[in-house]
Structure 1
Amino acid sequence: MTATANDLDWWRNAVVYQVYIRSFADGNGDGTGDLAGLRGKLDHIARLGVDAIWINPWYPSPLADGGYDVADYRAINPMFGDTAQAEALIAEAHRRGIRVLLDIVPNHHSDEHAWFRQALAAGPGSPERDRYVFRDGRGPDGARPPNNWESMFGGPAWERVPDGQWYLHLFDVKQPDVNWDNAEVRADFEQTLRFWFDRGVDGFRIDVANAMVKQPGLPDVVPGVNDVQDGGHPYLDREGVHEVYRSWRAIGDSYDPPKVFVAEAWVPDPERLARYLRPDELQTAFSFNFLTAAWLADDLRRNIDDALAENAAVGAPATWVLSNHDVCRHPSRLSRKPETGRGWNLDDVLDLPADPELGLRRARAATLLMLALPGTAYLYQGEEFGLPEVEDIPAERLDDPTWELSGHTERGRDGCRVPLPWAAEEPAFGFSAGAAAEPWLPQPDVFARHAADVQEAAPDSVLHLYRDALAIRRAHPALGGGELTWQDSPEGTLALSRISDGGEGGFTALVNVSSAPVSLPEDAEVLLASGSLTPRDELPADTTVWLRH
């Protein structure tokens, strides 16, 4: 990889592209994305102009939860390829100047992990069971779960095994929680970090980074008392996680250049999130409050300000994201009314009327807002094509465990995981090579208009908007790092100016979240706009413009 002056702190203003490998590109024609497909599309990613890729779990897994049920953390799922192909991918990405982040899942294993099989065979009280959270049940015959904890996917968080004990699974029943009070567990995850770091991986995204450590005694959750994540919840955002991350940071810092971490920590308070980013802990954590903000000027500004202020207090950059593999794609979220406050999952908004064209217009505007902010930005595969959420996958094809565990009342996250369209006129829209098998999730007809080749041929497409925005962001001295200053602007709009660390400025982003066009500042030159200006050169509703002045 070509060295730059910012090698040690590249993560402070990077743009990272998320690859959900199962749905990115299929290199062997079996209907499932794989390493061969990803390697074949690295030039697409490089041409976008990103600094790194984050790859969702590629480890051996029974795929009960899309790969987040890991059976072996130091191998590659054969459906994706093998370790030699993974090492080749890392080297090929580095040659293009693209760093590689992997996903690590520290809260739970797959029930097919060798350790869990050993735990079931060894029986109560054994060292093998101590690697997990096994407990006797309540009641005279132990037939009731040890406490009232519930799975994130629905239903109780406990499963009874034939010898009568219960094991904890905060997620799917096939994802037993590991015991972070166990020294073997801690050492094994540290070995996994080193295994991949030694193969050239540049860092990790940490899954459910706030849910590993449990309160001793495993007390019930008491509604109204400890159901807010303020440090007193029995299994969320507990103080003990910070000790883990201090040890991980030391491992990452022992490499030259140092390795990088980003936390997925859904905590409601930016001050709590900043605790994960103290100088001896993790470098970055997703500012999800920006993702969940309503499409209203005041709400957007408040969440941006909160994230910037709390992160600055610990010397960390903010990390922005609009879509990922766990949330409804933002063109579809934004196609609903902005004031609903329904949430960020498909099931939160599915019953609301949608305007897809409005949603795409807002999505383009939101992307330019995000890329104008100081800090790191994450993009989710397919958003550069303007892909919507697929909201009508047939029930018999749904794969997300949420569908079954909710008693068929919540469709879950499959709609943002549908395989990408690369070529409008090819079978499976070019997702698979050769004689293509049917993709593992069905693609809707509307994907034809979003296919990569269609986007490539249209100068005003979402794809060209992303490329242009990332090129400007990389070249402009005021973008990436540096300060943000809010300017006075009409009601229902946001105007932010950027000044570089060296004092260079001259950049303003104006976002019109109102329902009427607004005038541009005098003597401003348009660098890029998310949509066409009016005939009077005004900024229309639901549009963002980047200005030089």
Structure 2
Amino acid sequence: MTDHETTAQATPGEQAPDRRAPRLGDVTTTTVVHRSTRRPTAWWQHAVVLQVRGEADLAGLEALTAEISHVARLGADAIEVHCPGLDPGTEPARGVVEAFVRRAHQRGIKVLVALAGTDAPPQTDAAAWHLARCTAWLHRGIDGIDLISATRPVPPLGPHSHAGIELGALHALIAEHGEDVILTGGGTARDRAALAAHLHEDWLHVTRDDRLVVTPWRPQALRAAITDAYTLRDPVGAPAGWTLATAALSAPAEWGDLDAAALERRHDAAAALMLALPGTAYLHLGEAVGLRQAGDVAAAVRATAAAVAAQKGRADSRFERYRRGLRLRDELRLGTGPVGWIDAPAGTLAFLNREVLVLVNLGVEAVVVPAEREILHASADLPAPVGGEATVPPDTTVWLAMS
């Protein structure tokens, strides 16, 4: 697809389905809200980052080193850990950290370390501690620092200091380590003014926000929220940063009262939506195998590795479904593509990204699509086509080939 308005015709002579149900229309039009990236892109502008929740100690890093293959098998581009209690410049942490970074790099995985200014010990100069700890990590060969939550009050405070972080000094430090080393952070879409100020003043490589889980599960609301992500970021040349952090642990209030099975299905539909959007996507350890990581990092790593071993190779498993989504995202270059909204049946959200039509059924009844439209990926198993028609159940996302 080009960045211009596009139309797609359905095959002539199609028969109407036997039942009355919402149906993907014969003609779809697009309204482009984000244009594809034409210039060469850096890895971080379209990466999938696997975040490890909780504070990792030496045992946690050793477990990750031993089980890094499950990250590589999933297809994530980077792994992010939070290790406030480790000084990587001193033994025994130095050896453990260097082994972890080396092993990840051998598997083609970037390493990001999350460090907040509030991680500093009490009675310590937080800014000096943070800069020294970032320096020690960067000397171990990591690929970036994540400031965790970088949201701050409005009006902006300028690139000097907030939450115990000297941003000016940190930018200079990052620049010393090459253009592929990055500085990232997170904010909340609940405070748009603060997020906008953060984007315009702090100049992080990636700023993720939580809009996919603080927005009601309704087509117009999600369409507006996703459009706004590009409205805020495109003028400053920043990639969108997507995360389902809240939904990975519990049902967001904006999603309504859901039981465990309904939450899992909706979460997977939201994840397939997220992975189809241009920008940087963040997943959590265990998310791709149905585990809600919490508590001890080493135990969570081992549990995730065991789940991967049990699910890999099974086409119907959650792990293989996520793995297929990450592979197609990379092959089809969805991370750097455009977004063009499509007029779609009531209760659905639909857009084009390159040659892929993404359809999310947010309604309460199935949506019919022509069976000859190849389904590249789905967030859940779909019923077998009947009478030349395929159906997409509620709380399901599908990727359809346009050619």
Q: Number of aligned residue pairs: give it.
A: 357
Letter in 2 for 1:534: P
SS at match of 1:420: helix
User: Kindly tell me: are residues 474 and 267 of structure 1, through their superposed partners in 2, closer, same or farther at Cα, counting changes over 3 Å?
Assistant: closer
The aligned residue for residue 492 of structure 1 is 347
User: Kindly tell me: are residues 388 and 281 of structure 1, through their superposed partners in 2, closer, same or farther at Cα, counting changes over 3 Å?
Assistant: closer
Contact 2:54 2:295 in 1 (8 A): no
Contact 2:341 2:351 in 1 (8 A): yes
Match of residue 104, structure 1, among 115, 136, 146: 115
SS at match of 1:528: strand
* Structure number with bigger Rg: 1
CA-CA distance at 1:463 after TM superposition: 0.5
Task: Show CA shifts across 1:162-211 (max 9, x none).
Answer: xxxxxxxxxxxxxxxx4xxxxxx34x533333222222111111033235
Task: Show CA shifts across 1:100-157 (max 9, x none).
Answer: 000112135223xxx54xxxxxxxxxxxxxx4xxxxxxxxxxxxxxxxxxxxxxxxxx
Match of residue 91, structure 1, among 94, 102, 114: 102
The aligned residue for residue 322 of structure 2 is 466
User: Kindly tell me: are residues 84 and 383 of structure 1, through their superposed partners in 2, closer, same or farther at Cα, counting changes over 3 Å?
Assistant: same
Contact 1:22 1:33 in 2 (8 A): no
In 2, the alpha carbon distance for the partners of 1:471 and 1:532 equals 18
The aligned residue for residue 10 of structure 1 is 43
The aligned residue for residue 209 of structure 1 is 150
Match of residue 222, structure 2, among 284, 300, 308: 300
CA-CA distance at 1:95 after TM superposition: 1.3
Q: Answer yes or no: is 1:286 the counterpart of 2:286.
A: no
- Give the structure-2-normalised TM-score: 0.79
Q: Answer yes or no: is 1:200 the counterpart of 2:136.
A: no
Match of residue 519, structure 1, among 368, 371, 380: 368
User: Kindly tell me: are residues 99 and 388 of structure 1, through their superposed partners in 2, closer, same or farther at Cα, counting changes over 3 Å?
Assistant: closer
Match of residue 331, structure 2, among 475, 483, 486: 475
Letter in 2 for 1:99: K
User: Kindly tell me: are residues 460 and 473 of structure 1, through their superposed partners in 2, closer, same or farther at Cα, counting changes over 3 Å?
Assistant: same
Q: Which aligned pairs between 1:356-505 and structure 2 lie closer than 5 A?
A: 356-388=260-292, 419-420=299-300, 451-456=307-312, 458-477=314-333, 479-498=334-353, 505=354
Contact 1:320 1:370 in 2 (8 A): yes
User: Kindly tell me: are residues 365 and 33 of structure 1, through their superposed partners in 2, closer, same or farther at Cα, counting changes over 3 Å?
Assistant: farther
User: Kindly tell me: are residues 279 and 473 of structure 1, through their superposed partners in 2, closer, same or farther at Cα, counting changes over 3 Å?
Assistant: farther
Task: Show CA shifts across 1:492-549 (max 9, x none).
Answer: 1111101xxxxxx311110000011112257521101112223431111110101111
In 2, the alpha carbon distance for the partners of 1:291 and 1:320 equals 10
Match of residue 69, structure 2, among 33, 36, 43: 43
- Give the structure-1-normalised TM-score: 0.59
Q: Which has the higher contact order (CA 8 A, sep 6+)?
A: 2
CA-CA distance at 1:304 after TM superposition: 0.9
SS at match of 1:107: helix
The aligned residue for residue 191 of structure 1 is 132
Letter in 2 for 1:358: A
The aligned residue for residue 259 of structure 2 is 355
Q: Which aligned pairs between 1:164-175 and structure 2 lie closer than 5 A?
A: none
In 2, the alpha carbon distance for the partners of 1:454 and 1:91 equals 27
Contact 2:89 2:137 in 1 (8 A): no
CA-CA distance at 1:430 after TM superposition: 8.0
CA-CA distance at 1:39 after TM superposition: 0.7
The aligned residue for residue 230 of structure 1 is 154
- Bigger helix fraction: 2
Q: Answer yes or no: is 1:316 the counterpart of 2:235.
A: no
User: Kindly tell me: are residues 416 and 357 of structure 1, through their superposed partners in 2, closer, same or farther at Cα, counting changes over 3 Å?
Assistant: farther
- Bigger strand fraction: 2
The aligned residue for residue 542 of structure 1 is 395
Contact 1:495 1:511 in 2 (8 A): yes
SS at match of 1:329: coil
The aligned residue for residue 149 of structure 1 is none
CA-CA distance at 1:282 after TM superposition: 1.0
Letter in 2 for 1:263: G
Q: Structure 1: which 5+ residue stretches go unaligned?
A: 1-5, 27-31, 61-72, 117-130, 132-177, 179-184, 212-228, 232-236, 341-351, 390-413, 424-428, 432-450, 499-504
Letter in 1 for 2:343: D
Task: Show CA shifts across 1:24-81 (max 9, x none).
Answer: xx9xxxxx95222111111110011111110112524xxxxxxxxxxxx5557x9xx6
The aligned residue for residue 150 of structure 1 is none
Please, what is the CA RMSD of the aligned residues? 3.1
Q: Answer yes or no: is 1:508 the counterpart of 2:357.
A: yes
Contact 1:21 1:34 in 2 (8 A): no
Task: Show CA shifts across 1:433-479 (max 9, x none).
Answer: xxxxxxxxxxxxxxxxxx333323642111011110011111113x0
In 2, the alpha carbon distance for the partners of 1:417 and 1:94 equals 21
In 2, the alpha carbon distance for the partners of 1:244 and 1:109 equals 13
